[in-house]
């Protein structure tokens, strides 16, 4: 890990919509940012350190993908244009039963490659064989918040709990502090009340959070109503689940009371607009959630239901979707969307020292090349990032003070090997080329 000086960049700190430093520089020592300011503001000794020329670039915090299923990259394009439960029961769950440990490793490596190349520095994952996922995260250089998915009605429900405990004990704080762990009960409709309470007890014991799908579909909401006489959010509240740090994915079907509970319990939401749109699950009431004081971040969901892990595309979809859904062009302004993809994502994962370009924060940041026709003229930096930029405009990615991509070349893995091995795994799984 070497000291780095990024020079001559336009710095979007994300501390406020107008906190932009033109011709700025960022000094990085070890895994931390030690100086941010105008040209010449870095300590004198940094002039002899590694210099990255940020001319024509925008430096900003890396994107934080708050909900995905990494190894589902192997299922990209395998099962499309289907309702969620039919998709799960007839396609996804049967294929998942065939997955081998190496599939999780190479599927996650493909995920991390795609994420790095599109400017994501941190992601939250809920899936299986999390030891293999953690190995891939360690190799890639990314930061991640990982949880072993648990289905309480499955035959291996207790085994899933046992595996989760071992995973938390082995990997929490792993990969030089880049890996954080959580417990991952799948959803209220797949985990009976006593199972959820058991998992909550473990989360409290190990001082980690819970990552869970909540109110994703109307069918789920109706099933919970039929079984327990209430909404998924109120059901979780009654069980005491929301008394813990909770990352709730989707939260599409909510009423005003649900939103007030989520705000009071400080539940963080991972909004996944493209997956929700593709599965026709509905539209999460994000502007109302934010007005009610709920922390809302962004996620892509898995590549089987999105079908990519592109956070720039997710930002654009989110802001446009909520404008048209509410009839209000100000429903989700550009800065709010950028915040959801960066600082709010960090806070949702309990990563207080990421998501901003600020002295003392972790050095997780990206350089976006603005020298492209679609980013001229430069009237509004925030608008260009939210509405015009492409993931391919990301030139450089730094995570934990390490350069993991430079000039669009990923330095922590062999890109061709990852794509080839992932293809081999996918072919074996589905039995066709």
Round to whole Å and give the CA distance between 201 and 424: 40
* Cβ atoms < 10 Å from Cβ of 53: 12
Between the two ends of the chain, the Cα-to-Cα distance in Å is 42
Pick from 49, 169, 72: nearest CA to 125: 72
**pLDDT, position 47:** 80
The answer to whether the beta carbons of residues 75 and 302 sit under 8 Å apart is yes
Q: Mind listing the pLDDT tens digit for each residue in 302-349? A: 999 999 999 999 999 999 999 999 999 999 999 999 999 999 999 999
pLDDT of 84 reads: 79
| Rounded distance between C-alpha atoms, residue 421 and residue 433, angstroms | 13
With contact defined as beta carbons under 8 Å apart, do 237 and 261 qualify? yes
Residue spans per domain, the chain: 4-61+353-410, 63-348
Please report the pLDDT score of residue 1 as a whole number: 65
Does residue 165 have a cis peptide bond before it, meaning omega lies within 30 degrees of 0? no
* Residues in Cβ contact with 294 at an 8 Å cutoff, skipping those fewer than 6 apart: 259, 262, 263, 267, 268, 269
List residues bridging with 246 in a β-sheet: 210
Asked if residues 399 and 63 have their Cβ atoms less than 8 Å apart, the reply is: no
* CB contact at 8 A, 265 and 237: yes
CATH number of this structure's domain 63-348: 3.20.20.140
The fold for domain 4-61+353-410 equals Urease, subunit C; domain 1 (2.30.40)
E-assigned strands of 289-338?
295-298
pLDDT value for 432: 59
Q: What does the alpha-carbon distance between residue 231 and residue 406 come to, in Å, rounded to a whole number?
A: 47
In this prediction, residue 17 carries a pLDDT of 86
Other beta carbons within 10 angstroms of residue 17's beta carbon come to 15
Nearest to 268 by CA among 169, 182, 365: 182
Cβ 112 vs Cβ 146: under 8 Å: no
Q: Where are the alpha helices (DSSP H) in 172-255?
A: 174-177, 193-206, 218-228, 232-238
**Which residues, other chains included, contact 370 with Cβ-Cβ below 8 Å and sequence gap of 6+?**
10, 56, 57, 58, 378, 384, 393
Give me the pLDDT at residue 433, please. Answer: 47
Q: At which residue do the structure tokens 């589905």 appear?
A: 430
pLDDT recorded at residue 404:
98
Q: Which residues of the chain have a pLDDT value below 70?
A: 1, 432-433
């Amino acid at each position: 890990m070497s000291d780095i000086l990024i020079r001559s960049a336009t710095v979007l700190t994300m501390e406020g919509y107008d906190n932009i430093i033109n011709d700025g520089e960022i000094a990085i020592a070890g895994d931390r940012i030690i100086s941010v300011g105008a040209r010449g503001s870095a300590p004198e000794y940094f002039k002899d350190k590694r210099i990255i020329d940020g001319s024509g670039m925008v430096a900003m915090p890396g994107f934080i993908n708050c909900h995905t299923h990494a190894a589902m990259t192997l299922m990209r394009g395998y099962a499309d244009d289907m309702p969620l439960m039919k998709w799960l029961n007839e396609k996804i769950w049967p294929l998942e039963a065939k997955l081998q440990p190496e599939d999780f490793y190479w599927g996650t490596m493909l995920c991390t490659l795609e994420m790095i190349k599109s400017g994501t520095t941190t992601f939250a994952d809920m899936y299986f064989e999390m030891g293999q996922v953690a190995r891939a995260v360690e190799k890639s250089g990314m930061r991640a918040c990982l949880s072993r998915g648990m289905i309480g009605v499955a035959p291996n429900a207790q085994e899933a709990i046992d595996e989760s405990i071992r995973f938390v004990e082995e990997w929490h704080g792993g990969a030089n502090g880049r890996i954080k762990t959580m417990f991952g009960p799948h959803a209220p409709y797949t985990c009976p009340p006593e199972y959820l309470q058991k998992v909550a007890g473990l989360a409290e014991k190990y001082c980690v959070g819970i990552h869970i799908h909540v109110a994703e579909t109307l069918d789920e909401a109706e099933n919970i109503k039929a079984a327990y006489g209430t909404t998924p959010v109120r059901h979780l509240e009654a069980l005491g689940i929301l008394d813990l740090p909770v990352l709730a994915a989707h939260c599409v079907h909510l009423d005003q009371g649900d939103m007030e509970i989520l705000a009071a319990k400080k539940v963080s939401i991972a909004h996944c607009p493209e997956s929700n749109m593709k599965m026709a699950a509905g539209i999460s009431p994000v502007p109302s959630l934010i007005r009610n004081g709920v922390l809302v971040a962004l996620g892509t969901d898995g590549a089987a239901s999105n079908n990519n892990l592109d956070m720039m595309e997710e930002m654009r979809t989110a802001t446009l979707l909520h404008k048209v859904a509410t009839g209000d062009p100000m429903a989700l302004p550009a800065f709010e969307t950028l915040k959801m993809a960066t600082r709010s994502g960090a806070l949702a994962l309990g990563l207080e020292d990421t998501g901003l370009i600020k002295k003392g924060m972790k050095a997780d940041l990206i350089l976006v090349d603005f020298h492209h026709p679609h980013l001229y003229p430069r009237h509004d930096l925030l608008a260009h990032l939210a509405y015009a930029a492409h993931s391919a405009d990301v030139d450089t990615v730094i995570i934990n003070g390490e350069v993991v991509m430079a000039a669009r070349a990923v330095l922590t893995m062999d890109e061709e090997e990852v794509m080839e091995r992932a293809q081999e795994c996918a072919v074996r799984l589905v039995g066709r080329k």
